[in-house]
Structure 1
Amino acid sequence: MAAHPRASKKMLTQNLRRLEADGIVVRNDMSEMVLHVEYDLNHEAREEICSLLDHLAHWGRLYVTSRATSPENDVQRSLLTDRVEGAVMFQPGQFDIHSGFDGNWPEERFSMAVDQERHARIVGSLADSPFDAVICGSATEVLLLTGYWPVMSASVAVFTSDGEVKVIVPEDEVELAEKTTGAEIIPYETAGLHALHPAIQSLRTPLISVLQQLGASHAKIGLQLEQGVRPASYAVSTQFRSSLLKLLSELHPRAEYIACDEFLEALKAVKTAKELELMQKAAVVAAAGFAPANGLIRPGLRESEVSAALQAAFERTQLAETVQRTSGYFFCMSGPNSAKAAAAYARTRQRVLEEGDLVMIHANTCADGYWTDITRTFTVGRPSDRQMTMREAVDEARRAALRAIYPGVKAREVDHAARSVMRSHGFGEAFKHATGHGVGFAAANPNGLPRIHPLSPDVLEAGMTFNIEPAAYFDGYGGMRHCDLVAVNADGVDTLTKF
């Protein structure tokens, strides 16, 4: 029998659960099972058994032996040959299934378990919301709802108030999706040589199926309708914009579509244990990019040469083998250019490093959709008294901010702790931005919760992740910033960037 084209642990488990619930299959382990056939099976049951056998055959030799003693009922059938629909027509009796599969799933296929904590949180939040379901088509929110981080952002996730989760995925991303999500995967064929049309048109057929299952009981559907930040999951990404709303309104006109952006931001603010683990991995991989900086930075190099060397160190580290996908951006800003880092973005230029320069290295890196925001500042040669004073102030402000972090603390109090130190050193005006913002599902989102800002109403909770970035900038001279990624825990704070 030919191997099933999309054999996966999830699909096999679904078939097993259905057959076990009906009393058809009893198993001791994945290699030895007993198949009870007490009556002529209907078409659906036959197909479930066939699918189960297909999946088992994908990883081991498979045969079925009847326990019946009468010659007319004795069956020993190889299932390694092609099967036509309905060919497996078991007569009533009891059969042993020998799969030759030891239950050890290939590591390259299944690297991440379902995040049950995230699933439970979303179900709980939906229960307290006006939404019967949320439908999202941006990569970040698909990641939040399903655990899968789309490549081209051409996927759509549907999460209902009763806990049903489906993700519509381009066929060429199914292999990646199977490794990271427990949601029901609905593949669809994007445009190719057979057709030339936008992705939203290809979504019509799978969406019809999903919306039919929602039915009239899901009348209030949450959609992303407001301004937001969307990190890059690839060099280009699909933006459905209003086309998704138009298509949904056409296919499911009885539903009421409501903005759920704030609902999603609140969910993203508090990470699960699994998400924190991935963010820690992202920080560890990022550290490999910073590792060569001390020995690399010297007079005569261009900023572009420094950033390229650090980027290369990040991209070749074997630490990235612990996740499915990594990406990142390393920036170098030296001398007067480092003072311009107070802006909302970083930029590497062609300036040549000089003796006495402050050199700011900033990085935003990602592991399977979870981002970091990290900055370290170096000096070319021996630091001056002015630079040493700046570093003392920044370091002290960082420590003060970390000491202030506890569950229940207002985010603005953390900002106040850092800002007060900078003022006491005479650098109050030089600290030109907030002390931090939420980091995780995005690297640079000034409105990401919690906002560590003088005017922030946010209150810290265990599981929140954000950056702490005290800094001082002097136009025409230079800037110094130390930016760490931290997570609130029950006892205070855990610094994820341990370097």
Structure 2
Amino acid sequence: MEAESAPFTLDDFRLRMERSAQAAAADGLDGLLITPGPDLLWLTGYQPTAITERLTLLVLRVDAEPQLLVPVLERPDAESAVGAGAVAMSDWRDGVDPYEAATPLLSVDGEYAISDSAWAMHLLGLQHRLPETRYVSVTDRLPMLRAVKDDNELARLEAAGAAADAAFGEIVKVRFAGRKETDVAADLARLLREFGHEQVDFTVVGSGPNGANPHHEAGDRAILAGDMIVLDFGGLKHGYGSDTTRTVCAGDPTDQMREVHDIVRAAQQAAFETVRPGVACQEIDRVARRVISEAGYGDEFIHRTGHGIGMTTHEPPYMVEGEQRPLVPGMCFSIEPGIYLAGRFGVRIEDIVTVTADGGHRLNNSDRGLTIVE
């Protein structure tokens, strides 16, 4: 049964803004500057219908109430989305300098974390108006801003994962051999929508040698009998992401194909069993990599083991060497080791996992074995 999610409330957004401002202050910053993108949507519930060159800026400081500066023509939509009293709203009109309108909201010599998605022209405009201000990226200084999910967010992620699993359960029933990768990708996109995704972000179908490219986009190659096929697909359901990978074979696999698939599956399982609060993110990568390296395929595992997921498919935390932050209950991320044999085939198995009080919980539960398709 799908976990229940509810609409986010004004109190949810107020609490997020308050905590974010406090996190910035604790890091020695004077505040946060948030432009349109996932951070603004997460903090306020507002997403401009079109992200244009016009400046929209949320300013969060511990010494002031949240301030949202918007183009005057977009103010009605912003007020409707954000709700009365959540922020102090101001606007600017075409023909005036929006950065001058922003200056009263900032300290003349403050240091701010600014959205990674901010346009360079906006950052340069602020620097020109307030040359003593300093800016760092949100991901650089506050990478865990959205990393720990609340129960409502977890319910949405679980629903997205279950929908992706259902899509996989149906896609393995279609014919693969003799059809183009793009045909199977179209089937996957249709199935994701049928199972409730409002947005399909990617449908990777990498057959035969194309499977050795982790980010191969489905092309016109006809799938052949005996091909291994990497299926990596996902999108948004209730505003939160799905992302899962399974590798199937069109007909009978070779002994090496079975061997490589077994190794990847063992690496994925070992990494999952390592998940628990307090473990460093890099340890998830190390465990998966150790299994693959000991089997003799270390050089063919060419990417990190995982990435965070939430309102965007890729976000902190990352399961990669050098990331020493500890796992915390509520974090959600992928575990997706792979082996890629150039010119031949690839294998990847991916689940989304959330950290619980005493371990990990998979949000994907479709068959991880080597599924044989027609």
Q: Is the 8 A contact 2:65 2:88 kept in 1?
A: no
Deviations 1:40-95 (A, max 9, x none): xxxxxxxxxxxxxxxxxxxxxxxxxxxxxxxxxxxxxxxxxxxxxxxxxxxxxxxx
What's the offset of the Cα at 1:406?
Answer: 1.1
Aligned to 2:350: 483
Larger Rg: 1
Higher relative contact order at CA 8 Å, sep ≥6: structure 1 or structure 2? 2
Partner of 1:97: none
Aligned to 1:127: 25
SS in 1 for 2:145: helix
Equivalent residue number for residue 371 of structure 2: none
Q: Alpha carbons of 1:266 and 1:393: their partners in 2 closer, same or farther (altered >3 Å)?
A: same
Aligned match of 2:154 = 276
Give the direction of change, closer, same or farther, for the CA distance of 1:111–1:275 in structure 2 (3 Å limit).
Answer: closer
Which letter maps to 2:120? R
State the TM-score, normalizing by the size of structure 1. Answer: 0.62
Which of 204, 207, 214 matches 2:98? Answer: 204
Q: 1:215 to 1:179 in 2, by over 3 A?
A: closer
Contact 1:328 1:366 in 2 (8 A): yes
Number of equivalenced pairs = 353
- 1:118/1:272 contact within 8 Å kept: no
Unaligned runs of 5+ in 2: 1-5, 367-374
What is the Cα deviation at residue 254 of structure 1?
8.1
2:120 to 235, 241, 260: 241
Secondary structure of 2:173's counterpart equals helix
Superposed, 1:374-393 pairs within 5 Å as 374-393=244-263
**1:188–1:203 contact (8 Å) kept in structure 2:** no
Match of 2:292 in 1: 422
Q: Per the alignment, in what secondary structure is the counterpart of residue 360 of structure 2?
A: strand
Aligned partner letter, 1:459: P
**Deviation at 1:173?**
8.8
The 3-state SS of whatever aligns with 1:451 is strand
Q: Say what the alpha-carbon RMSD is for the aligned residues.
A: 3.2
Asked whether the equivalents of residues 113 and 141 of structure 2 are also in contact (C-alpha less than 8 Å), the reply is no
Q: Secondary structure at the match of 1:485?
A: strand
1:462-498: CA deviation from partner (whole Å, max 9, x where unpaired): 2222210111111121001011111212111121223
Aligned-residue identity in percent: 27
Distance in 2 between the 1:177 and 1:295 partners?
Answer: 47
Measure the CA separation in 1 of the matches of 2:158 and 2:64. Answer: 28
The equivalent of 1:222 in structure 2 is 112
When residues 315 and 184 of structure 1 are mapped into structure 2, their CA distance, relative to the original with a 3 A threshold, is same
Corresponding position: 1:403 with 2:299? no
Residue pair 1:130, 1:220 contacting (<8 A) in 2 also:
no
Q: How does 1:351-370 map to 2 (within 5 A)?
A: 351-367=221-237, 370=240
What is the TM-score normalised by the length of structure 2? 0.81
Unpaired stretches in structure 1, ≥5 consecutive residues: 1-109, 191-196, 231-238
Conservation of the 8 A alpha-carbon contact between 2:351 and 2:363: yes
Supply the distance in 2 between the matched residues of 1:302 and 1:290 (Cα, whole angstroms): 18
Q: After alignment, is 329-338 or 156-165 more displaced? A: 156-165
Distance 1:289 1:165 in 2: 41
* Equivalent pair of 1:249/1:255 in contact (CA under 8 Å): no
1:312 Cα deviation (Å)?
A: 1.6
1:340 alignment partner in structure 2: 213
Which residue of structure 1 aligns with residue 329 of structure 2? 462
Identify the residue that residue 85 of structure 1 maps to in structure 2: none
Pair 1:330-2:209 in alignment? no
Q: Does residue 66 of structure 2 align to residue 157 of structure 1? A: no
172-181 or 468-477, which deviates more: 172-181
Match of 2:243? 373
**8 Å Cα contact 1:411/1:458 also seen in 2:** yes
